Amino acid sequence: MDTKQLKDWIKDIQVLNVVNADVEVVNHSPLHMIGKGRQGAVFQVSDDICVKVFGNAEDCDREHYALSLGQKTELFPKIHAKGQLYIAMDIVRGVDVREYLQSQPLTPALSSKLIEMLITFKEIGFERIDHHKRQIYVQEDGSLKVIDVARTVWRDRVYPYPRKLLNSLGDENKALFLTHVQEMAPDLYEEWLHYIRLEEISHQIYQILLPEKPNKETLKKLSKKLLTTEEEEKYVNQLQGLVHKVFKEEWIKTMLARGKDPEAVMEKIDQYWDSLVQGLTRGSERDRDRDRDKGRKGERRFEGEIRRPHDKHHHGVKRYEGEKYRERLSGRRKSLLHK
């Protein structure tokens, strides 16, 4: 394959992603488009090779990674070249399972091939162990090949059983396929059935919760029991616990980034935190004592004391009964000394 010529042709192809729809294609190249989907469009390069042009680089990288994982198996098309927005690969021929089942029955042999496909997905490292029937092709020799595998990797959420495959088969073939699974792999059947039942229960719960309207006033009153900021002591303790938790988590991240064992420093973290808390506690006690002393400046210190706001400016006035003026005391001491 002439990759230089291919690059020149792809420059004349524009693929645009559309939300919840197949891509839009502007093709000024001599290549014939043979199909398109949500992520890209496929063009025939030769009798055996096609090129898939993507609307964005992330989808291209994602599909290339997924295909690369399966290159040592017979399940995936061979990759010939990759660019920023395209992948050149073998053309997958045959009949997709959707069309196949319109005229042919789902036999135990085909069900076995589908199970083997899922096993291969698991073995090569796919995250989604599932595939739609229209993306699975039955070959002339009875083997299977798959296309459009980008969504099997780099996923945040996956189902624990092949939900897409089962639902795409339709009710009749789904039941038949599960019967075959039960006969050939009973443990796998029991696990899938477990998840299917959980999904059915989830649908039932949703139907119960959907029409139910919450009593906002009652909830507003009851929710006050969850408030924690009104009781100062309780609030401070919980806030301290929250800050401690964040401090500990960030410390562990820092230790891991530095290549250290966080378990080895866990005790030191707690000791360091306790020292911080003790320091804050002592500081708070000093503040309370100082505030208490300030509050007592205007109070009588003992029975009989008469406090006046201007006492400090009038040294010659008695502040309480029995007080002796400093000047008089000083004079008497001097006279006694002279005697």
Mean pLDDT of 274-302: 63
Q: How far apart are CA 50 and CA 57, in angstroms?
A: 18
Q: What is the largest CA-CA distance in the chain?
A: 139
Q: How far apart are CA 167 and CA 128, in angstroms?
A: 15
Highest mean pLDDT among 35-49, 260-274, 305-319, 322-336: 35-49
pLDDT at 291: 62
Q: Summarize pLDDT for 107-130 with one digit per residue, the tens.
A: 999 999 999 999 999 999 999 999
Sketch the domain layout of the chain as residue ranges.
1-91, 95-209, 231-263
Sheet holding 40-44, edge to edge: 32-36, 40-44, 49-54, 86-90, 79-82
- Percentage, residues of the chain above pLDDT 70: 81
Q: Whole-number mean pLDDT of the chain? A: 86
Lowest mean pLDDT of 81-95, 130-144, 180-194, 300-314, name the range. Answer: 300-314
Lowest mean pLDDT of 75-79, 87-91, 155-159, 293-297, name the range. Answer: 293-297
Q: How far apart are CA 329 and CA 1, in angstroms?
A: 118
Q: How far is CA 283 from the centre of its chain?
A: 40
Residue for token digits 């997958």?
Answer: 92
Q: How far apart are CA 208 and CA 120, in angstroms?
A: 40
Fold of 1-91: Phosphorylase Kinase; domain 1 (3.30.200)
Q: Summarize pLDDT for 44-79 with one digit per residue, the tens.
A: 999 999 999 999 999 999 999 999 999 999 999 999
Structure token digits, residue 120? 């291969």
Mean pLDDT of 317-327: 50
Mean pLDDT of 74-99: 98
332 contacts 339 by C-beta, under 8 angstroms: no
